Amino acid sequence: MDKLGLRHDRVRYRPRRHVLIATLLLFSCSSIPPEGGDDVPSGIQPWGSLDTTGNPKDLPGEGDAWSVPSDQTAAPEIAPPEPGCFQEHDGPDFLPFFSKSCPDKQLCPCNPTDLGELLAYYMGKATQTLDVCVMELQDFTVSDAVIAARKRGVAVRLILDDGYSDPAKEKAVKYLDDAGVEYRDDLTPQALMHAKFTLIDDDLVLVSSANYSTFDALSNANNLLVLRSPALVKAFRSKFDTMWKKKIFHESGDGTVHTATVDGATVQVIFGPDWAIVERLEEAIAGAKHAIHFSIFAFTLEDVKDAILDRCGKVEILGVYDQEQANDSNSVAKSGWCAGAQVLPEQVTSDFGYSKLHHKVLIVDPGTPDAWVIAGSANWSFAAATKNDEIMIATNHPEIVAAFESEFQARFNEAK
């Protein structure tokens, strides 16, 4: 076993869960709400739900891996991965995953990854505690894993956004509720509980751009970073407990940047809402010496765009943002870019029709000793900085930066 508890035999990637293309074509008729998709108040269903009510449909497929079992309270055991994918890694304290691709197989040998199966795999390793904090949970592979953990005697806590916590509307939530899983929400329609992280025991932190929905796991371009760090777990658990025990959501931060060392590299975390999220982006952009690359879903902050424009002619500027978001009236794309900057709208290639570019990623100076990557749940929007619960994570770990850069290049080349 390596440091992350991964088996040394390689594990084969299991076939993806089947989804009918016709179902997902429903999204081609949907409208994009202001500030984009999952960055809007509850009551407006973002892209990623699988029917007009925002719930996964019970569709046929091999094994019906994400339909509700006939026995609502009996969650199947999570099968261990087969040899070939959730791999041994050069840096066992960190593992980057991407739902679409990471072309450099040395950096990301098991991508693209079904993030739902990945989450279930790691949740299956919990022995004491499992804390899950995510805007929406609509993936039955994940809900099965949560229920299985509870049945093993693991202390399970679940936080959702209030727009996705009603068991009368959300099938996966009803499944969890029927199984006795305790969950809470923010009770604040005016803002989002938009953070996306999972804590496993006192050991592992899983930070993602993805909601725990089948669409985000399989179709949208997303990332998930697994980190072994008791120090980071402690910081994240403090944020979780503030919401769970104190029932305090959307509290403006004080600019605190939590710092830890993982595999010899620096990892920084900012919990939103906090204007420090914007300041960290601006700091990274201003400090770039060679290149600024970004891949972003909703980009409405003119402050961040101005910071990038200030670097025009001094460093390489390459970027992609979600094609539908680029057409939004609040998007910074409306005002254009400077000469020399290549910033392109991207429509992610998918077997399921339209898919979102759902990353929230900034990379500066890739391939150099000064390289950093910033990721997490926070879109580059006023809501993310001032009212939504968010996570921003930054690191200068060269292999993590390189993996994100490899994924960026895949999305950028797709957009050309």
**Per-residue pLDDT, 152:** 97
- For the segment(s) 21-241, the CATH number from 3.40.630.40, 3.30.420.10, 3.20.20.140, 3.30.870.10 is 3.30.870.10
Q: What pairs with residue 196 in β-bridges?
A: none
- Give the model's pLDDT for residue 326: 84
Predicted model pTM: 0.82
E-strand ranges in 9-148 read 94-98, 129-133
The end-to-end CA distance of the chain, in Å, is 42
The pLDDT value recorded for residue 198 is 98
Mean pLDDT across the chain, nearest whole number?
81
Q: Which CATH superfamily is domain 252-415 in?
A: Endonuclease Chain A (3.30.870.10)
The residue to which tokens 């009996």 are assigned: 74
Separation between Cα atoms, residue 332 and residue 338, nearest integer Å? 13
Element (H, E) at 270: strand 265-272
Please say whether the beta carbons of 263 and 253 come within 8 A: no
Cα angle vertex 401, ends 279, 396, to 5°? 55
User: Position 156: which residue type?
Assistant: V
State the catalytic residue, choosing from 89, 100, 196, 293: 196
Beta bridge partners of 54: none
pLDDT tens-place string over residues 29-66: 333 333 444 543 333 333 233 333 333 333 222 222 22
Q: What is the pLDDT of residues 331-348, one digit of tens each?
A: 998 888 999 999 999 888
Side chain identity, residue 68: V
Has residue 281 got a pLDDT over 60? Answer: yes
The reported pLDDT for the residue numbered 85 is 53
pLDDT for 369 equals: 97
Distance of alpha carbon 312 from the chain centroid: 29
Integer CA distances (angstroms), 148 to 116, 142, 152, 282, in order: 15, 10, 6, 43
Our answer to whether residue 201 is catalytic in this structure is: yes
Query: In angstroms, what CA-CA distances link 12 with 39, 99, 219, 270?
Result: 35, 16, 20, 35
Burial class, 185, CB count within 10 angstroms (exposed 0-12 / middle 13-18 / buried 19+): buried
Give the sheet arrangement for strand 223-228, strand by strand.
94-98, 223-228, 204-208, 197-200, 129-133, 155-160, 183-185
Q: What pLDDT, on a 0 to 100 scale, did the predictor assign at position 76?
A: 38
What the block records as the tokens of 243 is 């919401």
**pLDDT of amino acid 212:** 97
Tell me the two tokens of residue 151. 């049945």
Q: What is the pLDDT of residue 350?
A: 73
Assess whether 196 carries a catalytic annotation: yes
The ranges assigned to domains in the chain are 21-241, 252-415
Lowest mean pLDDT: which of 145-154, 224-233, 304-313, 347-356? 347-356
Q: What is the pLDDT of residue 1?
A: 41
Whether 245 is a known active-site residue: answer no
The answer to whether residue 374 scores a pLDDT higher than 60 is: yes
Q: pLDDT tens digits, residue range 98-144? A: 998 777 777 776 677 789 988 998 999 999 999 999 999 999 999 99
* pLDDT of 210 above 80: yes
Indicate the SS3 state at residue 234.
helix
Residue 53 is predicted with a pLDDT of 32
Higher pLDDT, 63 or 373: 373
Q: How confident is the model at residue 378 (pLDDT cuts 50, 70, 90)?
A: very high
* Mean pLDDT, residues 151-169 taken together: 97
Token digits of residue 246: 């104190």
Q: Is the pLDDT of residue 79 over 70?
A: no
Amino acid identity at 175: Y
The encoded tokens of residue 265 equal: 């590299």
Catalytic member of 201, 234, 258, 290: 201
Return the SS3 of 360.
Answer: strand
The residue annotated as part of the active site, out of 100, 194, 356, 358, is 194
Residue 167, classified by CB atoms within 10 Å of its CB into exposed (0-12), middle (13-18) or buried (19+), is middle
Residue 114's pLDDT is 85
Dmax over CA atoms of the chain, in Å, equals 62
- The predicted structure's pLDDT at residue 25: 37
The residue with greater pLDDT, 407 or 4, is 407
The pLDDT of residue 280: 98
Q: Is the pLDDT of residue 7 over 50?
A: no
- DSSP structure string for 116-169: HHHHHHHHTT-SSEEEEE-S-B--HHHHHHHHHHHHTT-EEEEEE-GGG--TTT
The percent of residues above 90 in pLDDT, for the chain, comes to 66
